[in-house]
Structure formats: structure tokens, C-alpha cells
Amino acid sequence: MAFNDLVKQALTPALNLYGAQAEGVTVIFTPRDFSGPQTIDGIISPPPLEEQDLPEMAGVVYFFVRYTDITPNPKIGDKLSIDGATYNIDRVKVDIQTNAMLYLRKES
């Protein structure tokens, strides 16, 4: 089995346990290519600075996803809706195991 497949196999239970869907949070991904919105899963991760007003006021969210499981792959400028609040993808950090941390900023 390829290493990336092993990583995916290891991460699947973590996503099932700690993912947004397991927490009852709906995350809708809207790519900039107008291919249409889709529901995705991922893990809301600690941002670089803790915020004083949570959760509805969170200005910055880090969202861990299985990058290659999402088609099209998330890019800067795509949008995510987390429980109804819209966030823009400011940065995408893809690792060698084809996971990604999406840096999200809330839209005004």
C-alpha cells in the first residue's frame, strides 16, 4: 500500500471522530470555478491566535482537510460556509501526504 494511502487510512477514523460532521457542524465548500457547492468534512484546528469571541465571531479559522478527496482541490479565493458563516480561503498549505490546512477569514 502506498504511503499516502496509509496516511489516509489512519486519518479516516480521526475525521470520523473529530471532524466537523461528527461535531454537528455543516461545512459547505463553494469553489471559485462555479462548479457548485458541496458538503465537505474536515477538522477545525487551532489558529495562530486564540480569539476572544467564539464561535460565531471567529475571524480566522484553520480547517484541516483531505485535500485530494475534494474535487476540485481547494484554492485561494474559494469559499467555505461553516454553520452559515461565510469564510474565504486566504491560504492553502498542502503537505506531502496530500492533506491540507485551509486558512480561512470571515467575510463581512
Partner 1 sequence: MLRASDLINTVITTLQSITDFVTAMNGAQNIKAHTFQDGIARSIIDDIYQMTSPSTLVVYEGTMGGNFDAKTLWKHMVTIYMKAANVATEQNPMGYEDLIWMVVNGPVNGTSLNIRQIDLIPGKLRTMETPSIIRLADQTGTDFFKIECVFPEIGDAS
Residues in the site for partner 1, rule: CB under 8 A? 32, 34, 47-49, 51-53, 57-60, 76-79, 88, 90-91, 103, 105-108
Residue closer to partner 1 (CB basis): 19 or 74 = 74
CA distance 87 to 62: 11
Residue with cell 481547494: 74
Closest distance to partner 1 from the beta carbon of 102 (Å): 11
Tell me how long the chain is. 108
Residue closer to partner 1 (CB basis): 43 or 61 = 61
Residue closer to partner 1 (CB basis): 8 or 42 = 42
Q: What b/e readout covers 78-87, taking b as 16+ CB neighbours within 10 angstroms? A: bbbbbeeeeb
Closest distance to partner 1 from the beta carbon of 106 (Å): 5
Closest distance to partner 1 from the beta carbon of 29 (Å): 14
CA distances from 55 to 13, 41, 61, 93, 99 (A): 25, 18, 10, 23, 25
Closest distance to partner 1 from the beta carbon of 57 (Å): 7
Residue closer to partner 1 (CB basis): 67 or 103 = 103
C-alpha cell at 78: 474559494
